[in-house]
Amino acid sequence: MGIFDPKPEHKFTFGLWTVGNRGRDPFGSEVRDTKTPAELVYLLSEVGAYGVNFHDNDLIPIDATPSEAKTIKRDFQKALDETGLVVPMATTNLFFDPVFKDGAFTSNDSRVRAYAFQKTMHAIDLGVEFGAKIIVFWGGREGVETDSSKNAIDSFKRTREALNFFCDYAIDNNYDLKFALEAKPNEPRGDLYNATTGHMLGFIETLDHPDMVGVNPETAHEHMSGLNFMHSVAQAWEAGKLFHIDLNDQYPGRYDQDLRFGSRDLKAAFYLVKFLEDVGYSGSRHFDAHAYRTEDYEGVKDFARGCMRTYLIFKEKAEQFNKDEEIQNLLKEINAENPTMDQYFGPYTPEKAKALKEQTFNREELSSRGLRYERLDQLTIDLLLGVR
């Protein structure tokens, strides 16, 4: 078995909706047949995944009868049992059905909001039933095309009310759960509220149970706005809020591409994997992506294998970066701390402030130092391209 082959300890997971994506897009119809949830579990097992996640309606269609639901769940459980795949995360589809055309928690119609509460409780129950420990919230329709139509303040209040409700619901039911909020700037709505991982981090602090709630950053969603994804992930991690992650790829300033992980922006993917591995992130490496529309199900497997393989290649390169003597020496040189400055940092004291105000600095000397970042970056490129 090769070093770039997936193993359970890598915690690679896929959504049912990813390998089950049928290739429909705004300008074209489905190109692949429907597969049942159970069939998708076997497919994921075949390619070496560790787990499978779902929206409520990926598993149980919105109009399924109780008896249909029962059969689907039985077959799905059987597939999990036979393959050993686990279900670390579940989420609620609050965007596909026309009832959510103006949002779920932020709908201007209180009946829609109530229905969204109901649907989410059922989705949480369903996730828990299959062992999920993380519930993701992606508010795909929580936004506007025209700001004349909704009061932004109300939308924040309504979203908060919903999240507070579900936290209490989980507590009330003794569910061992954390919630992870997923941001997106736009699409399918003109503008979505809480547009970035940063906005979500700010929002979480206004909730009743901030400790239960973190983020689920997604590469494509942050790249759509041209943001540095790793920076958002690092901020979430440093704040203790990186509860889950959605890996894929995306070129900025366009529609949501959900490309195979590491297939478009190699440099960004490297820094992300390096970050996750360096800090010891222990959650799922969840791929929220789908195969090109040119593919049949063999191509879907190629796609899924590629996501995991590329992750592992970058993992290996991250280790190489950490061991590379020239790179590490450059980093040491760059970060040379001046011990005479230590006295000024750490907690504030009036004395420290006074002394620091009187310290003399030689701006010109400090400025003239070349930082060797071009060299450092070229070594990184060499390493990425495998010529080092």
Interface residues for a copy of itself in 65-94 (CB under 8 A)?
Answer: none
> To which residue do tokens 């686990």 refer?
86
CB nearer a copy of itself, residue 16 or residue 291: 291
Q: Which of residues 207-266 bind a copy of itself (CB under 8 A)?
A: 224-228, 230-232, 234-235, 237-239, 251-257, 259-260, 262-266
Neighbours of 29 (CB within 10 A): 8
Q: Order the strands of the 134-138 sheet from edge to edge.
A: 213-215, 178-182, 134-138, 89-91, 51-55, 12-15, 285-287, 246-247
The H or E element spanning position 89 is: strand 89-91
Strands 285-287 and 178-182 turn out to be: unpaired
Smallest distance, a copy of itself to C-beta of residue 229, A = 10
Smallest distance, a copy of itself to C-beta of residue 88, A = 23
Among 34, 67, 110, 174, binds a copy of itself (CB under 8 A): 110
* DSSP label of 128: H
CB nearer a copy of itself, residue 42 or residue 251: 251
Among 291, 311, 315, 318, binds a copy of itself (CB under 8 A): 291
CA 299 distance to own-chain centroid: 24
> To which residue do tokens 């949480």 refer?
124
Q: Please give the single-letter amino acid code of residue 158.
A: R
Verify binding: residue 329, a copy of itself, rule CB under 8 A. Answer: no
> For 241-290, where are the E strands, in sequence order?
246-247, 285-287
Verify binding: residue 30, a copy of itself, rule CB under 8 A. Answer: yes
Any idea which residues carry the catalytic annotation?
55, 58
Which stretch, 6-14, 73-81, 280-288, 290-298, contacts a copy of itself (CB under 8 A)? 290-298
Smallest distance, a copy of itself to C-beta of residue 201, A = 3
Contact 75, 37 (CB under 8 A): yes
Smallest distance, a copy of itself to C-beta of residue 316, A = 8
CB nearer a copy of itself, residue 87 or residue 142: 142
> To which residue do tokens 């222990």 refer?
282
Q: Report the DSSP beta bridge partners of residue 249.
A: 259
> Mask 187-206, x = binds a copy of itself (CB under 8 A)?
xx-xx-xxxxxxxxxxxxxx
100 CB-near residues (< 8 Å, 6+ apart): 94, 107, 112, 116, 140, 141
Contact 233, 268 (CB under 8 A): no
Q: Which of residues 341-380 bind a copy of itself (CB under 8 A)?
A: 341-342, 344-348, 350, 353, 356-357, 359, 361, 363, 366-380
Among 5, 129, 168, 326, binds a copy of itself (CB under 8 A): 168
Instruction: In whole angstroms, give the CA distance from residue 259 to residue 311.
Output: 14
Verify binding: residue 34, a copy of itself, rule CB under 8 A. Answer: no
CB nearer a copy of itself, residue 66 or residue 350: 350
Among 44, 85, 123, 384, binds a copy of itself (CB under 8 A): 384
Smallest distance, a copy of itself to C-beta of residue 117, A = 6
* DSSP label of 273: H
